[in-house]
Structure formats: C-alpha cells, structure tokens
Amino acid sequence: MRYDLVIIGAGPAGMAAAINAHKLGLKFKILDEQSQPGGQIYRNIENNINLGETCNQLKDILGTDYYAGSGLYNDFKELPDVYISGAVVWQVEAGRLYYSKAGKGYSIQAEHVLIANGALERPFPILGWTLPGVMTAGSAQILLKNPALAVEDAVFAGSGPLFYLIISQYLKAGIKVKAILDTTPTINYFNALKELFSALKGTGYLLKGLKLIREIKASDTLFIKGVNMLEAHCGTEDQLTAVSYTVGNKTSSIETRQLFLHQGIVPNVNLAMASNCQHFWSEKQLCWQPQLDKWGQSSQQHISITGDGSAILGAIGSRLQGAIAVQNIAVVLNKISASQRDINTHKLFVQLKREQDFRPFLDTLYRPLDSLRKPVHKETIVCRCEEVKVADVEQAISNGCMGPNQLKSFTRAGMGSCQGRQCGLTISELTASLTKQSVADTGYYRIRAPIKPVTLAELASLHQPNDVIDSS
C-alpha cells in the first residue's frame, strides 16, 4: 500500500497537518514516537483533559495556552485510523520510510513525507552539567504534565519564554523554587527595544509575558538578573549539591540538589539532515534550519518540513504551518489545484505572518550569552555522551582539525547515542570561533541513518530475499 503522505510527529504541526490531510482526502498515516499525541507542548493532553474535577486546578497550573491545545487534540482524535503511536522513524528514503515499533522494524511507502518532529532544547554546557540533579527546564515541564511530579527547592537557571513559563507553573502549583538565575544578557533589553515594531505585532504575547514575569517577581522567590556564568558543583558527593553564579564580577553560591537549565529551543534536525535536506545557519536564531520555500517544501522533492522542526515559531505558528504544508503537498500530489491551495491558505498566511513578525523581538531579547553557548572553562564537557571537553576540542584544532567531522573522528565528539543532539551546536560554534571561520562555513556533523538506535533484529526483519551485500 503506497500512501500519499506520511506525517512524522504529532505535536501541533503534525496534528494540524493530519486534520487538513483528512479534509483533503489524502491517503495518509501519522507516526508519533510518543505513546500519545501532543508533542512536547501538549504532552499528555488526553489524560489531563480527562482528569475530571482536578482539571481546573491543573488548568490553573499548566495555563490556558496548554489547554488551548485541547480543541486541536479533539479534532485530531476524530480522525479514523491514521495515528500510529510508539513509532520511531529512523530513515527516510525517496518513496519509503522505516520505523520501529515495539521491537519490530517496519517500512511504509509514501509519495511524500512531512517532517513535523519539533524542537529540542539548546545545549547548555556549563561546568558540572552532567551531574545527577541537573536537568533541562523542559524536563521539569514534562514531569509536571505527566505524571504531575515536581521537586521542591530547585534552582532554575537560564532565559527564554519557556523558562518563565515553567517557573510560573511551578509557583502556581505551590512548589517552592529556591532561586531563579536569569541569564538574559542585559544588553539584550536595549537591543530588543530596536525591535519595538516587531514586539507590537504580538501585543497579546507581550502582555502575557510581562504578566508572567510580574507574577514571578511578586512571588518573593529569589530572582537574580544578569547572570553571566554558572557552575554546578558536587562537593564530595556524586550528585549536584550547589550552583555558583556570577553577576558582573561577583560570584555567589546556592545550595541545591536540583538545577533546571534552559536557554531556548532549536529545531531537531537529525532526520532532515540524514535525509539529505539542505540546511543553513541562522544567525538570528543561532541554529541550523532546513532550506524551505514558504510552503515547507525542502530541497528533497519528497520531503516537506514544518513546525518548530523548521524554525522556532511556537505552537500557534506550528499549527498554521502544518496546515499550509499539507495544502501544498496536495498540489504536488495533484489532488487540488494551486489556486485552490492559495484560497485555502490565504487566511492562514495572514495569521502566520503575525506569529512570524513577533519572532525578531523574542530572538533578540532571549539571544543566549556567547559564553553559555561556547564554554570558556576548558574542563567543561561539550559532548556528554563521550565526555569530550573543551580542552580536547582545542587540542584537536591545534593539531589541524578544521571541521566538526574531522573533530568527531579525532575526539569521538558526536559519536554517542544522541548523535550530536546535545553537542552539535556547541561544537559548530566552538570550532568556528577557534578556526576563525563563520559557523556557516564550519558546518555541522554529517548526520546519517539510523537517526535513532535500532536493534539488529529490527533491522534484520526488513531484509528482503533479493537484497545483496556484494554487488560489485
């Protein structure tokens, strides 16, 4: 059976794409590596809607933006027989893709693939960030949504819209937060003023954000601004015991056994890169993004990319993009005409522009500090999986290493299970600085399939009788 379309990812972009694909009568499936739809932002929304009486209290904690996903989810739930959960896609070829589910390998044929696999957190390499007790702020939010776990007396360090959101969710749930260490560079506030025009395009967001921050400040939680250095310490234990931070030239320390870090999110590019989609370095968002036209069509004819996996735009923007992408795919598949697509998407583009216009303000305001993206302390681990430090990177470069791939060969950075997701950006930026090249010229790891680990049994199960190993 050859499908018109396979959608990868069931966050806002994926769900919106699926709803549209159904409306357009496409033959499609949507594959999700999670056990339930929602992606990251609407995680566990199915259960959290169904929680009955406690729903209101949870609603207060998680906020209206979270529950705004319930409409989308309810529409998605109605779609007949398209959703495959627990499906980990690890390779996309022209006309076919491969995934694992419950220990078995599967292949599925599709004319077109829409990658909607979202974003992940920007690496936050500080000294001690691999200690037990140090986690991302996103993980705090995930645990809050499912299964409603939280930890008292944590320190939150970082910057960005999600950073303030999770802190406010913790405070609303009555959880004590030990301290907030805000790493938003002071200069960003001045630079962001220049983006006033952009800011005013998203007045709703702006007011929401200001309200959030006001509530946090009013909560009497220790709130330190202008933090420019962080270190996680373990003393004589094998886990986090304290966090030290610097404001200006003054260093202080806070005792804690839990640290949540966050400095923004970036597109999850592994699948798109392994599928040979062209990417470019965005200096504005400090990340790699796929080359796309306005519809989400990538440099590979059979692949479109949408949502936060293409560029960071947030939940509303992702929903709009998901819908737009599918309208265009329908044209590519000769299901509707280009002019019909243009009619269908006209309003969506208007709404999308509003979301996009607000981004420059956010990108400027929350642009992370250089020293927190390119660690200065030589003992800082850059590649978590293989424990490769800044010192190792510097030594390799002084021995002639000129790019991330040679660096990978010589230091093992990027060879671990995460395949560069936690170190790739740091390595690209650090290498660029040290070799005095632009990040664009420096490049990124060569990402290859399988983009998630696959067992030999799962791989072997895809073997066809006439597959040959030696054909030359």
Q: Which of 16, 403, 425, 439 binds another protein (CB under 8 A)?
A: 403
- Cα–Cα distance measured from residue 7 to residue 22, given in angstroms and rounded to the nearest whole number: 12
Beta carbon of residue 341, minimum distance to another protein (angstroms, whole number) = 33
Residues 346-365 that bind another protein (CB under 8 A): none
Q: Residue 291 Cβ, how far from another protein at the closest point, in Å? A: 16
> Are the C-beta atoms of 79 and 19 separated by less than 8 Å?
yes
CA–CA separation, 265 and 317 (whole Å): 15
Under rule CB under 8 A, which residues in 257-316 are in contact with another protein? 257-258, 268, 276
Distance CA 382, CA 129 (A): 10
Interaction with another protein in 58-97: which residues (CB under 8 A)? Answer: 58, 61, 91, 93, 96
- Of residues 137 and 326, the one with the C-beta less far from another protein: 137
Q: Which of residues 172-211 bind another protein (CB under 8 A)?
A: 173-175
CA distance 381 to 392: 9
By CB under 8 A, name the one of 128, 202, 309, 443 that touches another protein.
443
The least CB distance from residue 385 to another protein, in Å, is 7
Segment interacting with another protein (CB under 8 A) among 181-189, 289-297, 326-334, 400-408: 400-408
Q: How far is CA 333 from each of CA 192, 197, 338, rounded to the nearest angstrom?
A: 43, 39, 11
Q: Which of 227, 226, 245, 243 is nearest to 235 (CA)?
A: 243
Question: Which H or E element spans position 292?
Answer: none
Size of the site for another protein (CB under 8 A): 92
Which window, 248-256, 287-295, 317-325, 447-455, contacts another protein (CB under 8 A)? 447-455
409 binds another protein (CB under 8 A): yes
Distance of closest approach, residue 253 Cβ to another protein, in angstroms: 20
Question: Is 231 buried (19+), middle (13-18) or exposed (0-12) by CB count in 10 A?
Answer: middle
Angle at 134 (CA atoms; ends 127, 361), nearest 5 degrees: 85
Give the one residue of 2, 95, 107, 196 binding another protein; rule: CB under 8 A: 107
- Pick from 78, 81, 220, 467: which binds another protein (CB under 8 A)? 467
Cα-based distances in Å from 471 to 74, 94, 459, 460, 466:
51, 21, 20, 19, 11
DSSP output for 300-356: STTEEE-GGGTS--HHHHHHHHHHHHHHHHHHHTTSS-HHHHHHHHHHHHHHHHHHH
40-59 positions binding another protein, by CB under 8 A: 40, 47, 51-54, 57-58
Q: Tell me the closest approach of the beta carbon of residue 243 to another protein, in angstroms.
A: 15
| CB closer to another protein, 39 vs 317 | 39
> Whose Cβ is closer to another protein: residue 61's or residue 324's?
61
Binding status of residue 168 toward another protein by CB under 8 A? no
**In what helix (H) or strand (E) does residue 44 lie, and over which residues does it extend?**
none
Residue from 146, 168, 263, 426 binding another protein (CB under 8 A):
146
8 Å CB contact between 91 and 274: yes
Alpha carbon distance 387, 128 (integer Å) = 11
Residues 109-128 that bind another protein (CB under 8 A): 120-121
Is there binding between residue 150 and another protein (CB under 8 A)? yes
Contacts of 357 (CB under 8 A, 6+ apart): 198, 201, 202
Q: Please name the amino acid found at residue 35.
A: S
Q: Which stretch binds another protein (CB under 8 A): 19-27, 184-192, 363-371, 405-413?
A: 405-413
Give the three-state DSSP class for 160.
Answer: coil
Contact window for another protein (CB under 8 A) among 160-168, 245-253, 354-362, 457-465? 457-465
